[in-house]
Amino acid sequence: MYLIDSHCHLDDYDNLPQVLANAREAGVAKLLAIGIGDGPDTMHRALNLAREHEQIFASAGIHPQEAHQATPEHLAKLASLVEDPRCIAVGEIGLDYYHLDNPDIATQHAAFVAQMKIAVAVRKPILIHCRTSELAIPAAKQKYEPADAWEDLLSLIAEHWTPSGLPGIMHCFSGNEDQAARSLAAGFYLSFAGNLTYPKSTTIQAVAKSAPADRILVETDAPFLAPIPLRGQTNEPANVAHTARYLAGLRGASYEEVAAQTTKNFYELFPPTRGIE
């Protein structure tokens, strides 16, 4: 019985051999390394790791916080990277309205749509990042009018992604039950990270408890979002086991059942990864 970490940032580690050894010891057999790097110029790093390590697969994408860098040159580079069979998804992509210094909404929308089109062209899933504003920002200091990232995201998905019939992942799902239902209806899997274990994450916990078994995944988002009891520490893929155990408790299932189900779901979503141990 083993786990798959469906979202981690492996190029952030100086001690990657030890991180991978820790993952193996914890029963984490495969990892999806997210290829956003420090921006579009470094989004190839995850694919390089996937070429070097059989247990690693990669994605590539331009994060919404870097949407202003979604130039024709960088989009062409992305289109080339995702042709590689070791690159199994486009992402993480989406919308992030949280910070005042993020690219404006129109720029984020354009980058998101352009990358969805690339994913449709290569027939590969997308990995979605969605974070809405939670800040009480005085109107005089706002770069743009307050907006709901989830509403915009789901609208763009309906227009530019759903017609393709392709699936995707709502990475580090942090929405409510309505947003979960709409994501599921659009063909997405819900991936739960370490923040699922936090005491104040009651909305996410309610979603995780009732989500269809065949549409759930677990992830770390390492080196970020370490789960309880490691919150505040540098996260790593081995810790996905903590999230899986917590998810099992929420759902009234055994750890083994959650491990088996989330692994099966990952294989359904990414058939090329099946059978490579």
Annotated binding site for a divalent metal cation: 7, 9, 92, 129, 171, 221
Q: How far apart are the first and last CA of the chain?
A: 12
Contact assessment for residue 202 and residue 210, using Cβ atoms and an 8 Å cutoff = no
Contact assessment for residue 186 and residue 164, using Cβ atoms and an 8 Å cutoff = no
> H or E segment at 152?
helix 149-160
Alpha-carbon gap, residue 217 to 101, rounded angstroms:
31
* Beta partners for residue 87, in sequence order: 58
Residues flagged as binding site: 7, 9, 92, 129, 171, 221
Alpha-carbon gap, residue 262 to 211, rounded angstroms:
12
Please confirm whether the linkage preceding 92 is cis (ω < 30° from 0). Answer: yes
To 5 degrees, how large is the angle CA 117–CA 121–CA 122? Answer: 125
> H or E segment at 6?
strand 3-8
DSSP state of 193: -
User: Burial of 76 by CB count in 10 Å (0-12 exposed, 13-18 middle, 19+ buried)?
Assistant: exposed
> Looking at this protein, which amino acid is placed at residue 132?
T
DSSP state of 40: G
Three-state SS for 93? strand
Alpha-carbon gap, residue 113 to 90, rounded angstroms:
12
